[in-house]
């Protein structure tokens, strides 16, 4: 079961990354072009946020079950990464996406909606990319 959750969490990262990139790219193009905020924009932004929240739920289950989370071994880089660094950066990224989505919903100016999504989602994406245990770091389970 644990192995299946790890693979699900690892595979879902690609969906999260693709949706974040799509939302960021679309927001940048429409912000720069002063294009109206559409239902399609709302959906891609919402799906990006939902995928991150699903990833959070899987991550929280893994956090409680994984042998890679051990607060008594903070001198070990791998344990510190999974116990503190990965978790903290991902929580901040999810908070940024959630805040950005909420702020964009509250404003009535379409250009500001695109700008808000672009800024919040881009910062979140950068944090996610830093916090992923990529295989070249030696801690990941592969690319998929």
Would you list the DSSP string of 79-109? HHIIIIIHHHHHHHHHHHHHHHHHHHHH---
86, part of any domain: yes
pLDDT at residue 142 in the model: 56
Distance CA 142, CA 144 (A): 6
142, part of any domain: no
113, part of any domain: yes
- Which of 5-14, 43-52, 96-105, 118-127 comes out lowest in average pLDDT? 5-14
pLDDT in tens, 65-100: 988 888 888 898 888 998 999 999 999 999 999 999
pTM here is: 0.91
Range of the domain at 110: 2-67+79-137
* Count of domains observed in the chain: 1
- Higher-pLDDT residue of 67, 125: 125
The candidate with the shortest Cα–Cα distance to 122, out of 6, 37, 26, 55, is: 26
73, part of any domain: no
pLDDT at residue 143 in the model: 53
Residue pair 89/127 in contact (Cβ under 8 Å)? The answer is yes
pLDDT at 144 over 60: no
pLDDT in tens, 1-38: 888 888 899 889 999 999 999 999 999 999 999 999 99
CATH code for position 105: 1.20.120
72, part of any domain: no
The candidate with the shortest Cα–Cα distance to 63, out of 47, 76, 81, is: 81
pLDDT at residue 140 in the model: 60
């Amino acid at each position: 079961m644990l192995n299946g959750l790890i693979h699900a969490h690892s595979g879902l990262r690609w969906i999260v990354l693709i949706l974040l990139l799509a939302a960021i790219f679309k927001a940048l193009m429409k912000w720069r072009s002063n294009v109206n905020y559409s239902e399609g924009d709302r959906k891609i932004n919402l799906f990006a946020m939902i995928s991150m929240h699903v990833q959070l739920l899987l991550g929280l289950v893994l956090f409680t079950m994984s042998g890679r989370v051990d607060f008594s071994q903070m001198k070990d880089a791998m344990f510190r990464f999974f116990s503190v660094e990965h978790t903290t950066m991902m929580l901040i990224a999810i908070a940024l996406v959630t805040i950005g989505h909420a702020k964009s919903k509250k404003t009535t100016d379409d250009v500001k909606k695109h700008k808000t999504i672009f800024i919040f989602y881009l910062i979140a994406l950068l944090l996610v990319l830093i916090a992923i245990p990529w295989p070249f770091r030696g801690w990941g389970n592969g690319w998929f």
